[in-house]
């Protein structure tokens, strides 16, 4: 049995978990030795009664490791343990880091620099727009966007990062073989091409009420900071924010109208001390002081139209008149689909050749 297989076996056992395994490792030193220990030896470890000790000592009768290894191969997954260099550094520091991470796609060293964006599954257009913009800007600057692949804000965060040609990681609350929500299967495939879909659960583990809070601790623990873009007073995203606070992470929130129920959670967080943000630069400036070593990022100097703008960028820039121009007029003038126009406007904004104005108007800066 390899070291990774031993960790997989421990992860498959119910009611054991990362904290208990850590206690066992303090005594037995390796996961292989844990699995070969006798029940009487295991029961001497603090917190282990006869039932838990027996469950570990007889693990081969209660779990099917061979099947799990077969499913990992069939799904073309990679397994990371805390002993692997690509296991997220910040995640390793939380109270209960996952024993294993199932990976579809590929992690890189750049993914150690992650920023989470979370929010409600039930969103407004305001929430979707601001989420995509922030994810685009932060991913473009070189950070990996971490989110949960859920409907609403999570989906917008992943899409914004992909539009910015950046990396994004989706941490899901089920096994990768039971992807949830199923309508995001195509998005998950795109994410795996430019990042990774990640789970701590066995391949065919179905989603349930307990799995999502566990997922949320990974989202916050992986990240340098957590951004809430839209969340009502009662929202699972607020649980992620609370976990981030407990883990010592920075928490940011996007303000919304005080008459918007969808923004009550964010506004309350700001009232309680979360940093109010209106732009990706607000997050990056704050993290720059906390983490002087930054990921490699594209240069952000202002571009010279005609010299560096080509294709869709040149067409959208040309469609913006000398005065303030509404996004509908830009779409009409450029002849491009609205989705292309919106993504290109964010790129031009990041290149600092245009500026957004209230009411979906844009103006040239140079």
| 83-133 pLDDT, tens digit each | 999 999 999 999 999 999 999 999 999 999 999 999 999 999 999 999 999
Neighbours of 76 (CB within 10 A): 11
pLDDT of residue 304: 45
Has residue 231 got a pLDDT over 70?
A: yes
Give the pLDDT band (50/70/90) at residue 26.
very high
| Angular region, 257: left φ>0, alpha ψ -120 to 50, beta rest | beta
Looking at the fold, whether 283 and 329 belong to one and the same domain comes out as no
70 inside domain: no
Looking at the fold, whether 178 and 242 belong to one and the same domain comes out as yes
Neighbours of 63 (CB within 10 A): 19
Has residue 135 got a pLDDT over 90?
A: yes
304 inside domain: no
pLDDT of residue 31: 96
CATH number of the domain where residue 177 is located: 3.40.50.450
Pair 145, 114: CB distance under 8 Å: yes
Has residue 182 got a pLDDT over 70?
A: yes
Mean pLDDT of 352-358: 77
Mean pLDDT score across all residues of the chain: 90
Pair 153, 120: CB distance under 8 Å: yes
Consecutive H or E run containing 327 = helix 327-334
Tens of pLDDT, residue by residue over 158-179, are: 999 999 889 999 999 999 999 9
Has residue 228 got a pLDDT over 90?
A: yes
CATH number of the domain where residue 12 is located: 1.10.150.20
Tens of pLDDT, residue by residue over 35-55, are: 999 999 999 898 888 889 999
Residues in a beta bridge with 357: 361
pLDDT of residue 301: 40
Has residue 365 got a pLDDT over 80?
A: no
Looking at the fold, whether 38 and 166 belong to one and the same domain comes out as no
Looking at the fold, whether 346 and 220 belong to one and the same domain comes out as no
19 inside domain: yes
Q: Percent of the chain at pLDDT above 90? A: 69
Q: Report the alpha-carbon distance of residue 116 to residue 120 in Å, rounded.
A: 14
For tokens 């795109």, the residue is 190
77: which 2 tokens? 């997954």
97 inside domain: no
Has residue 230 got a pLDDT over 90?
A: yes
Looking at the fold, whether 315 and 270 belong to one and the same domain comes out as no
Looking at the fold, whether 57 and 107 belong to one and the same domain comes out as no
76 inside domain: no
pLDDT of residue 181: 94
125 inside domain: yes
pLDDT of residue 115: 96
Has residue 199 got a pLDDT over 50?
A: yes
Looking at the fold, whether 224 and 166 belong to one and the same domain comes out as yes
CATH number of the domain where residue 332 is located: 1.10.10.10
Has residue 140 got a pLDDT over 50?
A: yes
**Domain tally, the chain:** 3
Domain that holds residue 50: 1-63
Give the pLDDT band (50/70/90) at residue 330.
very high
Has residue 348 got a pLDDT over 90?
A: no
134: which 2 tokens? 């922030």
Give the pLDDT band (50/70/90) at residue 7.
very high
- Residue from 85, 150, 86 nearest 118 by CA: 150
Neighbours of 106 (CB within 10 A): 14
Q: Report the alpha-carbon distance of residue 321 to residue 306 in Å, rounded.
A: 16
pLDDT of residue 303: 41
Which residue did the predictor score with more confidence, 353 or 244? 244
Looking at the fold, whether 127 and 181 belong to one and the same domain comes out as yes
Looking at the fold, whether 280 and 353 belong to one and the same domain comes out as no
170 inside domain: yes
Tell me whether strands 275-276 and 325-326 are parallel, antiparallel or unpaired.
unpaired
Which residue did the predictor score with more confidence, 288 or 238? 238
Has residue 293 got a pLDDT over 60?
A: no
295 inside domain: no
Has residue 342 got a pLDDT over 60?
A: yes
Give the pLDDT band (50/70/90) at residue 143.
very high
Give the pLDDT band (50/70/90) at residue 295.
low
Has residue 307 got a pLDDT over 60?
A: no
């Amino acid at each position: 049995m390899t070291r990774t297989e031993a960790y997989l076996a421990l992860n498959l056992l119910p009611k054991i978990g990362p904290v208990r395994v850590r206690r066992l490792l303090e005594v037995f030193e390796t996961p292989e030795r844990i699995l070969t220990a006798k029940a009487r030896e295991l029961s001497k470890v603090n917190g282990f009664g006869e039932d838990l000790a027996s469950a570990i000592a007889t693990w081969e009768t209660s779990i099917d490791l061979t099947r799990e290894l077969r499913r990992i191969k069939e799904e073309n997954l990679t397994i990371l343990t805390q002993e692997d260099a690509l296991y997220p550094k910040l995640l390793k520091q939380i109270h209960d880091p996952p024993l294993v991470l199932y990976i579809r796609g590929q992690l890189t060293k750049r993914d150690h620099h992650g920023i989470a964006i979370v929010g409600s599954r039930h969103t407004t257009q305001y929430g979707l727009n601001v989420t995509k913009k922030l994810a685009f800007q932060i991913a473009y600057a070189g950070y990996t966007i971490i989110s949960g692949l859920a409907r609403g804000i999570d989906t917008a965060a992943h899409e914004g990062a992909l539009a910015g040609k950046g990396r994004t990681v989706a941490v899901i609350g089920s096994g990768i073989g039971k992807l949830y929500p199923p309508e995001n299967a195509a998005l998950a495939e795109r994410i795996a091409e430019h990042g990774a879909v990640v789970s701590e659960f066995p391949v065919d583990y179905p989603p349930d009420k307990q799995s999502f809070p566990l997922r949320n601790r990974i989202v916050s623990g992986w990240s340098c900071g957590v951004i809430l873009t839209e969340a009502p007073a009662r929202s699972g995203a607020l649980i992620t924010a609370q976990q981030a606070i407990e883990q010592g992470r920075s928490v940011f929130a996007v303000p919304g109208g005080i008459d918007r129920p969808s923004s009550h959670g964010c506004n309350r967080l700001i009232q309680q001390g979360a940093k109010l943000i209106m732009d990706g630069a607000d997050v990056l400036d704050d993290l720059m002081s906390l983490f002087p070593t930054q990921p490699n990022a594209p240069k952000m100097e202002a571009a010279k139209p005609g010299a560096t703008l080509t294709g869709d960028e040149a067409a959208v820039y040309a469609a913006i008149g000398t005065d303030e121009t509404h996004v509908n007029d830009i779409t009409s003038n450029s002849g491009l689909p609205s989705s292309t126009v919106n993504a290109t406007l964010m790129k031009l904004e990041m290149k600092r050749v245009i500026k957004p104005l209230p009411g979906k108007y844009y103006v040239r800066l140079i």
